[in-house]
A and B are shown apart, each in its own frame.
Chain A
Amino acid sequence: MLSQADLSIEVPRLATALPPFPRVVQQLLELLRDDELSIETLARVARNDAVIAGQILSVANHVRRLRLQSDLSDPFAAAALIGLNRVRQIVVSAGMNRFVQVAAGSTPFFYAHSLAVAIAAQELAVLHELPPEDAYIAGILHDIGQLCFHVLAPAAYREVADRAAVDGRLVEHEQAAFGYDHCLIGCLLAEHWHLPDGVLRAIATHHDEEAPENRLQAVVMIAEVLTRALDLPESPNNRVIHVNPLARDLLGIDFSSPAMLDCLGRCRARYRLAFRKQE
Chain B
Amino acid sequence: MNDEQAREPREHFCWRAVTELQPGMVLARPARATQGSRATLLIGAGATLTESTIAQLLARGVECVAVYETCPDAAEWAAIDAAYESRLQQIFGAEAADEACAQLLAAIRQLGPCVC
Task: Report whether B97 and A256 are in contact in the complex, using a CB–CB cutoff of 8 Å.
Answer: no
A-B contacts besides A63-B59, A129-B36, A255-B103, 12 pairs, CB < 8 Å:
A229-B91, A229-B108, A230-B108, A243-B101, A255-B104, A256-B110, A265-B29, A266-B63, A269-B116, A270-B17, A273-B17, A273-B64
B60 interface hit (Cβ, 8 Å): yes
CB within 8 Å for A248 and B58 given contacts A85-B35, A230-B108, A240-B105 = no
Bound CA–CA A265/B64 (angstroms):
9
Contact indicator per residue, chain B 19-63, by CB within 8 Å of chain A (1) or not (0): 110000000010001111100000000000001001100111101
CB distance from B13 to the nearest CB of A (A): 8
Contacts A231-B87, A265-B66 known; A82 to B114 CB distance under 8 Å?
no
Interface assignment of A1: CB less than 8 Å from any CB of chain B: no
Majority secondary structure, A binding face: helix
> A239 an interface residue at 8 Å Cβ cutoff?
yes
User: Are B61 and A85 within 8 A (Cβ)?
Assistant: yes
Residue of A nearest to B103 (CB): A255
Given A89-B61, A231-B91, A256-B106: A265 in contact with B101 (beta carbons within 8 A): no
Give the B-binding residues of A (Cβ under 8 A). Answer: 59, 62-63, 66-67, 81-83, 85-86, 88-89, 126, 129, 225-226, 228-231, 236, 238-245, 248, 254-256, 258, 260-262, 264-266, 268-270, 272-273
Contacts of B99 in A (CB 8 A): 245
B94 within 8 A of A: no
Residue among A239, A244, A248, A264 making CB contact with B91, cutoff 8 Å: A239
How far apart are B57's CB and chain A's nearest CB, in angstroms? Answer: 10
5 contacts between A and B (CB under 8 A): A83-B61, A86-B58, A240-B101, A260-B107, A270-B17
